């Protein structure tokens, strides 16, 4: 196993897939000469040249559409949208073209395109640069949505996405690019469907994805140390399709559930998990499931207000204690 940061794992996946297949290209704002805002394409411009590592204009709808169109002809683009906040501008191409073309063409066309984009609440970037759009993308039929919580997943998911014939949206978190973790030395492909048990437990299941997995793990440590509560942590790295069987399996063991997300609660990932719990796990539950999510406000720029608006491990601990009557 090699220990590397998440951005290094993403860069490695780019490099391996571009070396293997000349039809794999990368495109996005500042990904070439500058090596990417978060260094995920560092050095690839010098290695593969400007025809395969393409610095695009500041026009998300345009270059996303160009990449999707190229994928119709057999090219496999990895499109980086510098911030998921700007993906709003490309939704027409993603929703009405990439996600629908196979269905609407009766299988005559496909869009094997990867769109990766960082999002989430970083440090004082303000409301217009703190979007958490995963709930938007997971509601689009025909689009796969994955979100890594560690470098191993980031590496393996990107490699699998590049070789997938479906369009894949990879939701990365801005605060996790310098997160260190083990990545297999040999080539590794992570499944694009499913979930992972990040920590075994028996008393309650904590469901999270990307950064909220780490809040859940920290909360589980506190609960075990201070309360003797053994919390299971389930990493929902695949948001579309959602691993309904994995959700059922864990709740059948613990009989209690807390869903943790950085986004606002309405019409979110947590709401969808709650629907699964209600529809498919109702008689397994010993208590109503609980959501821990962001306040329903635009993310403030002020640091104290920003921290107050989003969840943290202590809020997860408090939710579990209330759920278990502690």
Catalytic residues: 60, 129
Contacts of 288-292 spanning 24+ positions with Cβ under 8 A: 289/256, 289/257, 289/258, 289/259, 290/257, 290/258, 290/259, 290/319, 290/322, 290/323, 291/258, 291/259, 291/260, 291/261, 291/265, 292/258, 292/259, 292/260, 292/261, 292/316, 292/319
Q: Which residues contact 186 (CB under 8 A, 6 or more apart)?
A: none
Angle formed by the axes of helices 151-163 and 6-20, nearest 10°: 20
Closest CA to 52 of 98, 7, 17, 90: 17
Closest CA to 32 of 59, 14, 17: 14
- Tokens linked to 66: 């160009």
Report the 3 state secondary structure along 8-67: HHHHHHHHHHHHHCCCEEEEECCCCCCCCCCCCCCCHHHHHCCCCEEECCCCHHHHHHHH
- Cβ–Cβ < 8 Å for 83, 117: yes
**Cα 223 versus chain centre, distance:** 26
């Amino acid at each position: 196993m090699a220990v590397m940061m998440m951005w290094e794992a993403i860069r490695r996946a780019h490099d391996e897939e571009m070396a293997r297949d000349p039809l794999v290209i990368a495109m996005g704002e500042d990904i070439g000469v500058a090596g990417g805002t978060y260094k995920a394409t560092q050095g690839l411009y010098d290695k593969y040249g400007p025809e395969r590592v393409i610095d695009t204009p500041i026009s998300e709808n345009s270059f996303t559409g160009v990449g999707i169109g190229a994928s119709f002809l057999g090219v496999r683009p990895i499109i980086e949208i510098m911030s998921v906040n700007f993906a709003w501008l490309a939704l027409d191409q993603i929703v009405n073209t990439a996600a629908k073309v196979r269905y609407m063409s009766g299988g005559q066309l496909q869009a094997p395109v990867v769109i990766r984009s960082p999002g989430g609440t970083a440090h004082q970037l303000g409301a217009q640069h703190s979007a958490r759009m995963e709930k938007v993308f997971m509601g689009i039929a025909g689009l796969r949505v994955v979100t890594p919580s560690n470098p191993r997943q980031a590496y393996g998911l990107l490699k699998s996405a590049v070789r997938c014939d479906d369009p894949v949206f990879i939701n990365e978190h801005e605060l996790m690019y310098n997160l260190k973790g083990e990545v297999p030395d040999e080539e590794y492909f992570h499944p694009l469907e499913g979930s992972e048990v990040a920590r075994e437990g028996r008393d309650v299941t904590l469901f999270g994805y990307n950064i909220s997995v780490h809040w859940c793990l920290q909360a589980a440590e506190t609960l075990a140390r201070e309360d003797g509560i053994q919390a299971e942590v389930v990493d929902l790295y695949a948001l579309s399709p959602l691993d309904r069987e994995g959700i059922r399996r864990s709740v059948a063991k613990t009989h209690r559930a807390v869903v943790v997300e950085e986004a606002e609660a309405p019409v979110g990932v947590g709401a969808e998990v709650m629907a699964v719990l209600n529809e498919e796990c109702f008689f397994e539950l010993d208590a109503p499931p609980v959501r821990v999510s962001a306040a329903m406000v635009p993310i403030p720029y002020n640091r104290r207000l920003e921290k107050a608006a989003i969840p943290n491990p202590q809020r997860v601990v408090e939710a579990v204690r209330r759920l278990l009557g502690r």
